[in-house]
Structure 1
Amino acid sequence: MIGVLIVDDERLTRELHRAYVERIDDFEVVAECAGAHAALTAVLEERGTAPIDLVLLDMTMPDGHGLDVARHIRARAADVDIVAITSVRDADVVRQAVGLGVVQYLVKPFDFATFRDRMEQYRDYRRRAQDAAGQATQAEIDALLSALRPAGGAALPKGLSADTLDRVTGALRESGPLSSAEAAETLGMSRVAVRRYLEHLAEAGRADRVPRYGTPGRPETEYHWRT
Structure 2
Amino acid sequence: MSIRVLVVEDEEIAARAHAAYTERVTGFETAGVARSAGEALRMLGADPDIQLVLLDMHLPDGHGLGLVQRLRAAGHLCDVIAVTSARDADVVRAAVAQGVVQYLLKPFTFATFRDKLEQYAAYRAQLSSSGTQVAQHDVDAMFGALRSRGGSAPLPKGMSAESLRDVADALRAAEASMSASEVAAEIGASRVTARRYLEHLADTGSVERTQRYGGAGRPEIAYRWR
TM-score range, shorter chain: 0.5 to 0.7
2:86 aligned with 1:85, yes or no?
A: no
Give how far 1:3 is off. 0.4
CA-to-partner distance for each residue in 1:57-109, whole Å, 9 max, x for gaps?
Answer: 11001111100000111223312000001100001000111111100001111
Give identity over the alignment, percent: 47
Aligned length: 154
Match of 1:130 among 124, 128, 131: 128
CA RMSD of aligned residues (A): 1.8
Spell out, residue by residue over 1:168-227, the C-alpha distance to the aligned partner (whole angstroms, 9 max, x if none): xxxxxxxxxxxxxxxxxxxxxxxxxxxxxxxxxxxxxxxxxxxxxxxxxxxxxxxxxxxx
Deviation at 1:148, TM superposition (A): 0.3
Q: Superposed, which structure 2 residues align to 1:64-79 within 5 Å?
A: 64-79=62-77
* 1:57 equivalent in structure 2: 55
User: Is structure 2 residue 34 aligned with structure 1 residue 30?
Assistant: no
Q: Tell me the distance in 1 between the aligned counterparts of 2:145 and 2:92.
A: 19
Scaled by the length of structure 1, the TM-score of the pair is 0.64
CA distance in 2, matches of 1:120, 1:144: 13
Structure 1 unaligned spans of 5+ = 154-161, 168-227
TM-score by length of 2: 0.65
Question: What SS does structure 1 have at the residue aligned with 2:101?
Answer: strand
- Is 2:6 the counterpart of 1:5? yes
**Alignment partners' CA distance in 1, 2:133 and 2:59:** 41
Q: CA deviation at 1:40?
A: 1.4
Q: Does 1:141 align with 2:139?
A: yes
CA distance in 2, matches of 1:102, 1:9: 19
Matched residue, 2:21 = 20
Contact 1:74 1:100 in 2 (8 A): no
Runs of 5+ consecutive residues of structure 2 not aligned to the other structure: 156-226
**Matching of residues 131-210 of structure 1 within 5 Å:** 131-153=129-151
